[in-house]
Structure 1
Amino acid sequence: MITVDRPSPARRPLLAAAACAGLAALVWLAWPSVDPVDLPSAPTAAGAAGASTVTGPGSRPRVLPVPGSSEPVDPARMFDLGVAGDLRVDLETKTALDLIVAELGDNPSAEALAKLERSLRGGLPREAAEQVLAMVQSYRGYTQALARSTALQRPPQTPEEMRQLLAQDAALRRQHFDAATSNALFGVQEAYSRYTLDAQAIESDPRLSAVEKARQIHALRAALPGEVAELEPALSPKASELALRIAELRERGGTEAQVQALRTQYMGSDAASSIGEMDAQNAQWAERHQAFRQQRDALLATSPADPQAAVEQLMAQHFSAEELPGARAYDQQAKR
Structure 2
Amino acid sequence: MISPLLLLGGWMLWPDSPAPATDWTSSGAVSGPPRETIDSRLPPQTTTNPPLANQLPATGTGQPGQAGTAPPEISLDRLQHALANIAVDEDGNLALDEVALASLQQAFRAVQSLDTTTIDELRLYVQAGLAGEAGTQAARLLDDYIGYRNSLAEAKNAWAAGDDLSPRQQLERTIALRREHMDPVTASQLFAGEEAHQRYLIAMDDIRSDMQLSEPERQDALARVREDLRSGRLLVDTSDGQVTSRLRQQREQWQQLGLTDDMRRHLARQSLGLVAARDLAGSDAEDWQSRYGQFERERDAILRAGLAEAEKRRQARALEERYFTPEEREAAENWLPRHLRTESVR
TM-score, normalised to structure 1, is 0.47
Return the index of the structure with the highest Cα Rg: 1
TM-score, normalised to structure 2, is 0.46
